């Protein structure tokens, strides 16, 4: 199976710091590359991470605050300059179409026709992913400007059980027919069904939740995912500021993960107000309410998807 992992291109919030770039996250998924919230400097961070414009098949913008979109011009122009031939779908809030247009054509360059715009609107939008091996849903969140989170989901599949196939005399091309049709005729002339020779294989899921207060959308996006990439801008002592500016604390991010049954929690989008020696407090506050895997990320970190659930 192709790589499934998250490369962190930036992990600061509104203001980049000496050690943290503006946002940027590339999720690699079976040959596809979903670039979430390319902030300022994303093009250079991709180079540092060993990624190229050819790795990008989706650009997903949650909202049009600068730390989540000012890298769009550089990424688009690199796609054009490097001659990317495959389609690159661009999802963004429809209400910010004028900002997208400004970013998309921010300066003079030899343009590309591979960018396909996918504006999202309403409380929930299902994006057309064509023949990609995943679905993609956008869900409105709670921020001072219209913002969306994204949820990628692999359809459920089945794992074939060799011992049951052998017991029913199903082998060779008949195994593929069983998977395709749901039934075949066994060696003894009886009908063998797919359910008899397989178990459900849950599809893997990822949620990407940036700037928001706690709201129903957070829980819906995060429900049962294998990996939740979520902002944790503030510590709990500054919960009032988080609510005022439309953000989450690390403790709220941990609670969202616990309530949703998340497996791996990825904390990011840290305010510049906190010193480097305070970083452990984000993990500590999240861990107080969430007992799963926690990754407190830094720029250029790569986080692998957890092993597939058995059932």
The DSSP-derived string for 219-262 is HHHHTT-SEEEEE--B-GGGHHHHHHHT--BHHHHHHHHHHHT-
Report the C-alpha dihedral over residues 44, 147, 235, 215, rounded to 10 degrees: -150
The DSSP-derived string for 148-189 is EEEEEEPPPEEEE-HHHHHHTT--THHHHHHHHHSEEE-TTS
- H-only helix segments in 60-204: 72-81, 97-104, 162-167, 173-181
Taking residue 119's Cβ as centre, other Cβ atoms within 10 Å add up to: 15
Q: What is the spatial distance between Cα 298 and Cα 287, in angstroms, rounded to a whole number?
A: 18
Strand partners, 229: 208, 266
Q: What is the spatial distance between Cα 288 and Cα 261, in angstroms, rounded to a whole number?
A: 15
Taking a C-beta distance cutoff of 8 angstroms, is the pair 161, 199 a contact?
Answer: yes
Active site residue 67: yes
Q: What is the spatial distance between Cα 18 and Cα 298, in angstroms, rounded to a whole number?
A: 12
Q: What is the spatial distance between Cα 189 and Cα 209, in angstroms, rounded to a whole number?
A: 53
Q: What is the spatial distance between Cα 49 and Cα 26, in angstroms, rounded to a whole number?
A: 10
Given the residues 37, 55, 67, 89, the one annotated as active site: 67
Residues carrying an active site annotation: 67
């Amino acid at each position: 199976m192709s790589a499934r992992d998250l490369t962190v291109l930036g992990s600061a919030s509104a203001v980049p710091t000496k050690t943290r770039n503006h946002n940027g996250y590339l999720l690699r998924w079976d040959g596809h590359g979903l670039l979430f919230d390319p902030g300022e400097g994303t093009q250079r961070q991709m180079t540092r991470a060993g990624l190229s414009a050819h790795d990008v098949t989706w650009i997903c913008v949650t909202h049009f605050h600068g730390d989540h979109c000012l890298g769009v011009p550089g990424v688009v122009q690199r796609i054009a300059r490097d001659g990317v031939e495959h389609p690159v779908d661009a999802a963004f809030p429809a209400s910010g179409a004028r900002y997208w247009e400004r970013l998309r054509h921010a300066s003079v360059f030899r343009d590309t026709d591979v960018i396909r715009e996918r504006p999202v609107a309403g409380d929930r939008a299902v994006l057309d992913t064509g023949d990609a091996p995943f679905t993609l849903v956008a869900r409105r969140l709670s921020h001072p400007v219209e913002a969306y989170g994204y949820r990628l989901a692999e359809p459920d599949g089945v794992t074939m059980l060799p011992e049951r196939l052998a017991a029913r005399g199903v082998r060779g091309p008949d195994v593929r027919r069983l998977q395709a049709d749901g039934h075949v005729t066994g060696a003894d002339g009886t009908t063998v069904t797919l359910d008899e020779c397989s178990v459900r294989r849950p599809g893997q899921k990822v949620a990407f939740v940036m700037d928001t207060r706690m709201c129903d959308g957070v829980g819906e996006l995060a429900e049962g995912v294998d990996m939740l990439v979520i902002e944790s801008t503030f510590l709990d002592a500054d919960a009032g500021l988080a609510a005022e500016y439309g953000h989450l604390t690390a403790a709220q991010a941990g609670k969202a993960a616990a309530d949703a049954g998340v497996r791996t929690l990825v904390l990011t989008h840290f305010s510049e107000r906190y010193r480097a020696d305070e970083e452990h407090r984000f993990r500590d506050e999240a861990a107080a309410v969430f007992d799963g895997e926690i990754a407190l990320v830094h720029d250029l970190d790569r986080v692998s998807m957890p092993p597939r659930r058995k059932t």
